Amino acid sequence: MTDDERATPGKGRTPTARDIDPGAPEEFGLTQAWWGDGKGKTTAALGMAARAAGHGYRVHVLQFMKGGADSVEDTRGEYNAIAALPGLTYENLGHYGWHALNDGSDDRDHAAEVEAGFERTTDLVEACRAADLTTPFPLDSPADDGVHMLVLDELLYAADRELVAPDAVVDLVESKPANLELVVTGSHAEPTYLSEAADLITNVRKVKHPIDDGIRARKGTEY
């Protein structure tokens, strides 16, 4: 080991993977909101979900407004990865196509899916309220028994499309259990309604995007 390596915070050590055993976070309980016109909102949320699961915390991802589209396959790569990672589960309640984009999908179906998704969210939050979030959960336990982190992917997009009332999102944040880490993503428009309720708000801003040059979603990076 060189002197330079010893001087680094990690002191030149190479981290090694360990077995994942059920654990409980000591400092969870914040609300994070990820929005913007750039690529990476869902990617960031899934990265945090994987990180938390790697510590043995129970994590669940609920996706709104994210079904298939003509440019991607119905099965996204993250679903297969999530299925292989202990303690991390997901549900997809999106509908084929995108709301209000005239892509052949029915906006009434989108609205119904979002309504069902928000009802499911309410049930999951109530389950967390009934659980002791300061203790570990079995890694194979159902999300209905409580989770330490709940990711609501594209909820902000649904609110932007007025399929969920922004006030309902605020109420959800303000009434969640104190130890539940809540992550919400989506929307190109700033969710100003969360400016007071959320603890972390990140604007994922586009500087340059290949879609502007006609490059469509690529397997392994966008889905």
Confidence of residue 99 (pLDDT cuts 50, 70, 90): very low
Cβ atoms 46, 151 nearer than 8 A: yes
Tokens of 84: 């292989």
Burial per residue of 123-137, b for 16 or more beta-carbon CB atoms within 10 angstroms, e otherwise: ebbebbeebebeebb
Tell me the average pLDDT of the chain. 87
Confidence of residue 15 (pLDDT cuts 50, 70, 90): confident
pLDDT value at residue 108: 56
The DSSP-derived string for the chain is --HHHHHSTTTTPPP----------SS---EEEEESSSS-HHHHHHHHHHHHHHTT--EEEEESS---BTTB-SS-HHHHHHHHSTTEEEEE---SS-TTS-SS--HHHHHHHHHHHHHHHHHHHHHHHHS-TTS---TT--GGG--SEEEEETHHHHHHTTSS-HHHHHHHHHHS-TT-EEEEE--SS--GGGTTT-SEEEE---S--GGGGT----TTTT-
161 vs 164: CA distance, rounded Å: 8
Strand partners, 63: 92, 153
Per-residue model confidence as pLDDT tens digits over 128-159: 999 999 999 999 999 999 999 999 999 999 99
**pLDDT higher than 60, residue 196:** yes
Number of neighbouring beta carbons within 10 Å of residue 78: 19
pLDDT value at residue 37: 93
This model's pTM is above 0.85 = yes
**pLDDT higher than 70, residue 105:** no
223 vs 78: CA distance, rounded Å: 7
Domains defined for the chain, CATH in brackets:
28-213 (3.40.50.300)
pLDDT value at residue 17: 86
